[in-house]
């Protein structure tokens, strides 16, 4: 599938699956070697590949106005993204050109970046604006000592960076329009898990585990192993319906609405996902730290098309708390358990079946790009 189905088509497909006790099925089985989750050599190769793909840094709403900036590590490199006075988002290596100190931490708003070591100052466009004690550097070419720029693309409410000569346009080739300009961030969290980033990614790529893993959290409201799967080039969309969707059978199709009836989960290749939930949107970026550790960066945004109010914000926070304290927490435990069990060597491969089509789709693209990278190196 190259085009996404609309809400009406999705709802009809779900109702048909419920009636026939079926789900969308993939066409292939995939066997992934467990060494790919526990090898430092493999991890180093993956970091090199991540630098050659567009990676989500943040939603546009994280740096909404001129001077807004965000600093974080992306594929092992400290980066600094900032919206310029011209409204354009630029990203630089977060390192002073004098002696290399990091210029900014976290997020905020500024007119310039001043190094805390020797007070060299840089503009929002990365140019070197001032050298403290200029006489000490009589022949220094100021134009050649601006911050090192990293290729940046802002598209459909997301900011992407590509650090090296790209192997692919990745998520950008067919990026769904999934965030709108009126959405605001109401919560950001950051934490680490002792699990490979791919193990954590895979937990959101299928509903085959809903009843077993989420028996008291998601399953009472949803279905076990009933999903719609759509490919969007290297991205994908998985639909998780709620049981209450069956109420729509009793009303005309032109009155069908997806809101509150299902969750859309967009897998943004390679390491991000955006979930369109009942009362908020959740963007998750899984940043690899090592082959056995991952940093989560999670943004929670108000729904599109709603005016912010204390009541609606409370609904969004309640919705977010349920998701992170139940289902996501259970997924994290599962992935960390798998990582720990890898030490035993009981498995040589993990088998992804036809119920896990999105995971197969990811691994096919990931392995193809790794093979291409090896040929280039």
Q: What is the pTM of this model?
A: 0.95
Residues 6+ apart with CB under 8 A from 309: none
In CATH terms, is domain 7-53+177-376 a member of 3.90.380.10?
A: yes
Residues of the chain with CATH 2.102.10.10: 55-165
CA 2/CA 368 separation, integer angstroms:
19
Mean pLDDT, residues 257-267 taken together: 95
The string of pLDDT tens digits covering residues 233-245 is 999 999 999 999 9
The string of pLDDT tens digits covering residues 76-89 is 999 999 999 999 99
Give how far Cα 32 sits from Cα of 192, 238, 346, 350, Å: 24, 21, 14, 5
Given a cut of 80, is residue 307 above it in pLDDT? no
Helix axis angle, 357-376 to 40-50, nearest 10° = 90
Residues 6+ apart with CB under 8 A from 360: 26, 28, 29, 30, 352
Rg of the chain's alpha carbons, rounded to an integer? 22
Task: Region of 235 please: left (phi>0), alpha (psi -120 to 50) or beta.
Answer: beta
Q: Which CATH superfamily is domain 55-165 in?
A: Rieske [2Fe-2S] iron-sulphur domain (2.102.10.10)
* Percentage of residues in the chain having pLDDT higher than 90: 89
Task: Return the sign of the alpha-carbon dihedral for residues 129, 131, 112, 73.
Answer: positive
The string of pLDDT tens digits covering residues 206-234 is 999 999 999 999 999 999 999 999 999 99
Banded pLDDT at 90 (limits 50, 70, 90): very high
CA 162/CA 151 separation, integer angstroms:
5
Given a cut of 70, is residue 91 above it in pLDDT? yes
Residues 6+ apart with CB under 8 A from 177: 156, 157
The string of pLDDT tens digits covering residues 163-199 is 999 999 999 999 999 998 889 999 999 999 999 999 9
Residues of the chain with CATH 3.90.380.10: 7-53+177-376
Given a cut of 50, is residue 52 above it in pLDDT? yes
Banded pLDDT at 37 (limits 50, 70, 90): very high
CA 202/CA 363 separation, integer angstroms:
10
User: Which residue would you say has higher pLDDT here, 68 or 280?
Assistant: 68
| Cα–Cα nearest to 17, from 221, 177, 227, 238 | 227
Mean pLDDT, residues 101-114 taken together: 98
Two tokens at 116?
A: 């805390």
Are 165 and 146 in contact by the 8 Å Cβ rule? The answer is no
Residue 1: its pLDDT value, please?
A: 41
Q: What are phi and psi of 362, to 5 degrees?
A: -60, -50
CA 47/CA 75 separation, integer angstroms:
6
């Amino acid at each position: 599938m190259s085009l996404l189905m609309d809400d009406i088509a999705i709802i009809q497909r779900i109702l048909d699956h419920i009636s026939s006790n079926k789900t969308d099925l993939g066409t292939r089985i995939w066997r992934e070697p467990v060494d790919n989750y526990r090898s430092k050599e493999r991890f180093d190769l993956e970091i090199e590949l991540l630098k050659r793909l567009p990676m989500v840094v943040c939603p546009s709403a994280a740096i909404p106005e001129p001077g807004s900036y965000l600093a974080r590590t992306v594929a092992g490199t400290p980066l600094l993204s900032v919206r310029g006075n011209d409204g354009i988002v630029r990203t630089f290596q977060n390192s002073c050109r004098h002696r290399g100190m990091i210029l900014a931490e976290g997020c905020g708003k500024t007119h310039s970046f001043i190094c805390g070591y020797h007070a060299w100052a840089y503009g929002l466009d990365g140019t070197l604006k001032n050298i403290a004690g200029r006489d000490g550097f009589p022949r220094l070419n100021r134009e050649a000592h601006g911050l090192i720029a990293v290729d940046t693309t802002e598209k459909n409410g997301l900011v992407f960076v590509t650090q090296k000569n790209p192997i692919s346009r990745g998520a950008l080739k067919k990026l769904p329009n999934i965030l709108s300009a009126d959405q605001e961030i109401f919560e950001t969290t950051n934490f680490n898990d002792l699990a490979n980033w791919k193990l954590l990614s895979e937990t959101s790529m299928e509903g085959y585990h809903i009843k077993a893993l989420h028996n008291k959290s998601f399953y009472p409201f949803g279905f076990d192993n009933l999903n719609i799967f759509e490919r969007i080039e290297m991205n994908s969309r998985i639909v998780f319906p709620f049981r209450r969707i069956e109420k729509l059978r009793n009303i005309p199709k032109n009155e069908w609405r997806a809101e509150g009836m299902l969750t859309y989960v967009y897998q943004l290749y390679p390491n991000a996902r955006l979930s369109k939930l009942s009362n908020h949107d959740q963007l998750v970026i899984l940043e690899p730290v090592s082959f056995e550790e991952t940093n989560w960066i999670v943004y929670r945004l108000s729904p599109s098309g709603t005016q912010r109010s204390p009541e609606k914000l409370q609904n969004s926070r309640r919705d977010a708390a349920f998701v992170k304290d139940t289902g996501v927490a259970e997924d994290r435990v599962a992935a960390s358990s798998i990582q720990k069990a890898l030490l035993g060597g009981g498995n040589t491969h993990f088998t992804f079946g036809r119920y896990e089509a999105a995971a197969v789709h990811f691994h096919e693209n990931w392995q193809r790009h790794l093979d291409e990278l090896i040929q280039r190196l």
